[in-house]
């Protein structure tokens, strides 16, 4: 962990990972989409709309995974003051927000033919909606500070409050929907997913995971570069002022 | 240390009711908010009674929120917060004292008045008592979570909207269990389970809220 805290060393490592992760994303995404859209059977009840699952489930997975990355980064920001951890958390947040949005959108599109409505206050959709707001709060808090290191630590505290809260929110929403909605028409995926649907789902999950790694590393590198550019600009201004 | 802790609570309650304090305004806000609902959904008991628990909880949530963004801000701006850090109280206990004072001065009066508002919304007798107990068990979490969010935004001039965005998603479990307790009187679920869960959430945040607030205040005072 501490070994990665040096930004220059991290960028060197990222430059080794990216040439693998980026092509892996393309290959797996291509293969996964082929398997999901053409080579897998339609569901006997849901027909072709079951194929939304191959986007929906990996999106929901990344939505949670990105939050865990944010919380882990927040923890290292607060405990070890890693300069890189701030950047890692900040870089993960918009990706998580996008995939939470994507999980909500695909869930809604899937819900229309299955439930007959665009939105159902189903436990999972509702938890995702709350997660969406948690991401918004994190990003808004980052933007609200002028001082970068203070923003990083405030956001880290919020990410940790959030991560302890997610199980409580999840539990309360489950409890709430079992009270209000005794029989759901349809349970998403669940343990009884047909074996023929598993390979495309696993390939898509791997593709999304590599996509996350690629984008996340890119964003970290870009953020480190922008910090560096700002520092250089300040230096330039100082040099010019001293010269005049 | 206990003397300092109690003194801080007493001071904050006094300030809440002194000239320029917000405690009276919060009660008025609660009353007006509750009054709006009959206009929105209709005045008859059939439409009001089923939503009364939810309405009173939402009004309590918003009232708590309304008084939160200034929880640390006034003391931060006039330097009192910095002066307090040189006293015997660690930041965490200071945040806890302020959260307790917030609950006693802003939320406890609402709880005392809630049976009256429950009657306006045609909630029946037993459900009213459950509501009062649910508010007693659950609202401490509102002050404690709020203290953390308020500390995070203490140095911002317009922190109010941000506090709302940070705090309201975290209030959802309290809202669910709080309304669940009231609804359990006439329908599905167990009153005591919901009350226990409310108290559980409050207890978790009795630890986490002041800890997070202390971290955030340290940041602001640097």
Is the Cβ–Cβ distance between B45 and B122 less than 8 Å? yes
The CATH code of the domain that includes A171 is 1.20.120
Backbone angles phi, psi at A33, to 5 degrees: -65, -40
Examine residue A9 and state whether it is found in any structural domain, yes or no.
no
Complex ipTM value? 0.87
On the question of pLDDT at B67 being above 90, the answer is no
> Which residues of chain A does B153 touch, with a Cβ-Cβ cutoff of 8 Å?
141, 144
Do the Cβ atoms of B89 and B5 come closer than 8 Å? yes
Structural domain contains residue A127: yes
What pLDDT score was predicted for residue A182? 47
Say whether A158 and B189 touch across the interface (CB within 8 A). Answer: no
In a domain? residue A5: no
Virtual CA dihedral for A161, B99, B216, A94, nearest 10 degrees? 40
* The predicted structure's pLDDT at residue B58: 95
Name A47's bridge partners. Answer: A43
Contacts of B162 in chain A (CB under 8 A): 137, 140-141, 144
Kindly state whether residue A1 falls inside one of the protein's structural domains.
no
> Nearest-CA residue of chain B relative to A148?
B219
> Is A124 within a domain?
yes
User: How many domains are contained in chain A?
Assistant: 1
Distance CA B104, CA B97 (A): 10
Q: Please answer yes or no on whether A137 and B153 come within 8 Å at the CB atom.
A: no
Confidence (pLDDT) at A120: 80
Neighbour-count burial of B39, counting CB atoms closer than 10 A to its CB (0-12 exposed, 13-18 middle, 19+ buried): exposed
Give the residue numbers spanning the domain of A76.
17-243
Q: Looking at the complex, report in whole angstroms how far the Cα of residue A60 sits from the nearest Cα belonging to chain B.
A: 19
Q: How far apart are CA A125 and CA A132, in angstroms?
A: 10
Ranges B14-18, B126-130, B131-135: which has the least confidence: B14-18
Which of A78, A165, A173 minimises the CB distance to B170?
A165
Judge whether residue B10 has pLDDT over 50: yes
> Quick check: is A186 in a domain?
yes
Tell me the pLDDT tens digit for each residue of A48-104: 777 888 889 899 999 999 999 999 999 998 888 888 888 999 999 999 999 999 999
- SS3 category, A47: strand
Main-chain phi, psi angles of A36, to 5 degrees: -70, -40
Residue in chain A lying closest to B158 (CA): A144
pLDDT digits (tens, 9 = 90+) for A171-208: 888 888 776 654 444 444 444 566 777 788 889 999 99
A130-159 residues touching B, CB cutoff 8 A: 130, 133-134, 136-137, 140-141, 144-145, 150, 153-154, 157-158
Residue written as tokens 């998580």? A96
Helix (H) or strand (E) holding A202: helix A198-243
Please report residues of A whose CB lies closer than 8 A to that of B221: none
Q: What pLDDT, in 10s, does the model give residues B168-213?
A: 999 999 999 999 999 888 877 788 899 999 999 999 999 999 999 9
Residue B43: both structure tokens together: 């005045």
In terms of C-beta density within 10 A (0-12 exposed, 13-18 middle, 19 or more buried), how is residue A41 classed?
Answer: exposed
Give how far the C-alpha of residue A54 lies from the chain's centroid of Cα atoms, to the nearest Å: 16
| Burial of residue A183, with CB atoms counted within 10 A of its CB: 0-12 exposed, 13-18 middle, 19 or more buried | exposed
């Amino acid at each position: 962990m501490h070994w990665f805290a040096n930004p220059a060393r991290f960028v060197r490592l990222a430059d080794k990972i990216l040439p693998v992760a980026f092509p892996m994303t393309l290959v797996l995404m291509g293969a996964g989409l082929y398997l999901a859209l053409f080579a897998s059977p339609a569901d006997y009840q849901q027909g072709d709309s079951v194929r939304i699952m191959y986007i929906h489930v990996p999106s929901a997975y990344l939505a949670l995974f990105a939050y865990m990355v944010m919380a882990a980064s927040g923890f290292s920001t607060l405990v070890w003051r890693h300069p890189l951890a701030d950047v890692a958390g900040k870089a993960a947040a918009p990706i998580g927000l996008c995939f939470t949005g994507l999980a909500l959108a695909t869930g809604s599109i899937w819900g229309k033919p299955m439930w007959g409505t665009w939105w159902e206050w189903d436990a999972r959709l509702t938890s995702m909606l709350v997660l969406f707001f948690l991401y918004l709060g994190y990003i808004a808090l980052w933007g609200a500070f002028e001082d970068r290191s203070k923003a990083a630590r405030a956001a880290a505290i919020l990410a940790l409050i959030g991560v302890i809260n997610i199980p409580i929110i999840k539990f309360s929403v489950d409890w709430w929907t079992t009270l209000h909605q005794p029989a759901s028409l349809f349970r998403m995926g669940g343990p009884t997913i047909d074996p023929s649907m598993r390979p495309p789902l696993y390939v898509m999950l791997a593709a999304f995971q590599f996509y996350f790694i690629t984008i996340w590393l890119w964003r970290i590198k870009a953020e480190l570069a922008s910090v560096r550019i700002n520092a250089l600009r300040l230096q330039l201004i100082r040099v010019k002022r001293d010269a005049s | 240390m206990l003397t300092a802790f109690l003194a801080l609570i007493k001071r904050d309650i006094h300030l809440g009711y002194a000239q320029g304090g917000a405690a009276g305004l919060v009660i008025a806000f609660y009353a007006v908010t509750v009054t709006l609902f009959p206009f929105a959904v209709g005045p008859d008991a059939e439409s009001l009674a089923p939503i009364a628990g939810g309405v009173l909880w939402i009004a309590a949530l918003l009232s708590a929120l309304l008084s939160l963004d200034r929880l640390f801000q006034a003391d931060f701006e006039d330097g009192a917060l910095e002066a307090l850090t040189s006293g015997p109280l660690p930041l965490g206990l200071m945040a806890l004292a302020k959260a307790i004072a917030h609950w006693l001065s802003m939320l406890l009066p609402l709880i005392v008045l809630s049976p009256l508002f429950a009657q306006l919304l045609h909630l029946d007798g037993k459900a009213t008592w459950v509501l009062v107990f649910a508010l007693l068990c659950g609202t401490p979490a509102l002050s404690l979570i709020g203290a953390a969010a308020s500390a995070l935004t203490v140095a911002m001039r317009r922190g109010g909207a941000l506090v709302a965005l940070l705090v309201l998603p975290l209030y959802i479990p309290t809202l669910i269990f709080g309304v669940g307790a009231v609804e359990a009187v006439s329908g599905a679920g167990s009153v005591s389970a919901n009350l226990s869960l409310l108290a559980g959430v409050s207890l978790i945040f009795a630890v986490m809220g002041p800890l997070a607030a202390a971290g955030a205040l340290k940041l602001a005072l640097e």
